[in-house]
Amino acid sequence: MQLVLEKRAERSNTIALISPLIAIGLTIVTMSILFVILGKNPISALGVYFIDPLTDSYSLQEIAVKASPLVMIAIGLSLCYLANAWNIGAEGQFLVGAVAGSWLAVKTNGTDAGYWVMPAMLLLGAAAGALYALIPAICKVRFGASEILTSLMLVYVADLFLDYLVRGPWRDPKGFNFPTTAEFDPVATVPVLIDGGRLHLGALIALVVVAAGAVLLGKTIKGFEIRVVGAAPRAARFGGFNSNQLILLTFAISGALAGLAGIIEVAGPVGHLQPGISPGYGFTAIIVAFLGRLNPVGILIAGLFLALTFIGGEQAQIAMKIPLDVTKVFQGILLFYVLACDSLILYRFRLIPASPKVHRGAR
């Protein structure tokens, strides 16, 4: 007997619907085993991870705060991935957006600049993210260089550039030599939605981005072109779609969204520019995009779920001394299971008798 993979006659819609749930279930089982290996009670560990953050308003707000950048970035990435353009440098675009917007905040710090500062910062952040994402896109379209490698290399460059700025020219002179800029002025910060709470305007912007993504993909010709170029490149060529232009477009949009997420993060929850403003949002957003099936609504749900794991991971570290790296392991395993389950939409397993020797030969 032999277990083989074979293509289904048509894609299975049932599996398409339930596969993210199967993936999450399998991940939780795997995590329980990992908790046992780490010598923790799996039931209480899972409780701290997935249930506790849902029980108080502070954590609920914090989930929305963490989900906002994830969702924004993942919507942009999903456009790229649908068009078969592999932007994996969203983390770098996030950082560059944060830097570009912070430039204005630093320059206007302590002056009597008015309320135009914050919107201008957001625009700067989005523009810088888009330009930064266009570097790998242009290298791909113009020279054929792998966008995967170039976009990733730019993450390291952006990280070092931010580090240089906050240790060098932008360092807060009153900051006791910590590598950080001065706290942003109130006009340079993203307002909170509930007085005294953490939830800020970024959450609303993320919702707008989800709606815009859904309209773009579902209701416009461009959205249709993006999907066709990725799913059936030959058909797209016959249709006269310009795939190079779509690569540039999807990279620019995803870069802009990542940059916007970056500046919102700095001008909102963080309040100043410093190294380590992102716990890997740009990379986690890749998981969000796939877990959400590259679908805007799916991404919203997936973003909230992964934000939950960030909060749960922090609480588990405090309450049960579970290392923070467990969250990354969790995210990696989740992505594996999501991809594996998605494979069963197009393929299925079948047990067949061992193939007779004659079919093997022909050496």
Residues in touch with other proteins (CB under 8 A): 4-7, 86, 88, 135, 139, 143-146, 148-150, 152-154, 156-157, 160-161, 163-164, 167-168, 283, 286-287, 290, 323-333, 335-336, 339-340, 342-344, 346-347, 355, 359-363
DSSP for 234-295, written as a single string: HHHHHTT--HHHHHHHHHHHHHHHHHHHHHHHIIIII-S--TT--SSHHHHHHHHHHHTTT-
Q: How far is the CB of 346 from other proteins (least distance, A)?
A: 8
Cβ-contact 333, 323 below 8 angstroms = no
Q: How far is the CB of 106 from other proteins (least distance, A)?
A: 17
Q: How far is the CB of 272 from other proteins (least distance, A)?
A: 19
Q: How far is the CB of 40 from other proteins (least distance, A)?
A: 13
Given the complex with other proteins, which of 241 and 290 has the nearer CB atom?
290
Question: Which residues lie below 8 Å from residue 120, measured CB to CB, with a gap of 6+?
Answer: 104
Q: How far is the CB of 147 from other proteins (least distance, A)?
A: 10
d(C-alpha 211, C-alpha 155), whole Å: 28
Identify the DSSP state of 182.
P
Given the complex with other proteins, which of 267 and 326 has the nearer CB atom?
326
Given the complex with other proteins, which of 93 and 331 has the nearer CB atom?
331
Q: How far is the CB of 73 from other proteins (least distance, A)?
A: 14
Given the complex with other proteins, which of 1 and 362 has the nearer CB atom?
362
What percent of the residues of the chain are helix, what percent strand, and what percent coil, each to the nearest 5? 70, 5, 25
Q: How far is the CB of 363 from other proteins (least distance, A)?
A: 7
Buried b (16+ CB within 10 A) or exposed e, 179-217: bbbbbbbebbbbebeeeeebbbbbbebbeebbeebbebb
HSE value, Cβ hemisphere, 13 Å, CA-based, for 326: 29
Given the complex with other proteins, which of 161 and 224 has the nearer CB atom?
161
In terms of Cα–Cα distance, which of 90, 59, 137 is closest to 262? 90
d(C-alpha 264, C-alpha 330), whole Å: 26
Given the complex with other proteins, which of 89 and 202 has the nearer CB atom?
89
Residue 22, amino acid: I
